[in-house]
């Protein structure tokens, strides 16, 4: 079983950049597909990005495409989410999630992930 811990959140001005990390322990993160979700107050948890075990297949929500980049650092057992050109609408708690199951294309559904971190707050001021 893997444990996930997010870090790197904080307060940034609109247009700025931030990088959040998802560190794994207990198992090698390379064996998992890893996704980032986010949840703003009063809103449902939404998909942000996903990277598969092959490190090649990445997917992004339309709202972050071209601004966010998901990547792995297997040596550090970590997945990163680089966020650029941040907007106030990006304000949310960001969660990383892991699974070894095949999502059959439904990678954007949170129920397809088995392990979750506790989240890290990202706040973008206007």
Give the model's pLDDT for residue 104. Answer: 83
Q: Are 71 and 96 within 8 A, CB to CB?
A: no
Residue 59 pairs in a beta bridge with 50
pLDDT of residue 37: 98
Pick the closest to residue 88 from 21, 16, 37 (CA basis).
Answer: 16
pLDDT in tens, the chain (126 residues): 899 999 999 999 999 999 999 999 999 999 999 999 999 999 999 999 999 998 889 999 999 999 999 999 989 999 999 999 999 999 999 999 999 998 888 999 999 999 999 999 999 999
Q: Tally Cβ neighbours within 10 Å of residue 56.
A: 7
């Amino acid at each position: 079983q893997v444990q996930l811990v997010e870090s790197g959140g904080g307060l940034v001005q609109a247009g700025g950049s931030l990088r959040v990390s998802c560190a794994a322990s207990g198992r090698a993160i390379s064996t998992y597909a890893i996704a980032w979700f986010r949840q703003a107050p009063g809103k449902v948890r939404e998909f942000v990005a996903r990277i598969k075990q092959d490190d090649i297949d990445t997917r992004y929500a339309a709202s972050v495409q071209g601004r966010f980049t998901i990547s792995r650092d297997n040596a550090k057992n970590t997945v990163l989410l680089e966020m650029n050109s941040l907007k106030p609408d990006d304000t949310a708690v960001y969660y990383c999630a892991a699974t070894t199951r095949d999502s059959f294309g439904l990678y954007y559904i949170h129920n397809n992930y088995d392990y979750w971190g506790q989240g890290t707050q990202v706040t973008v001021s206007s």
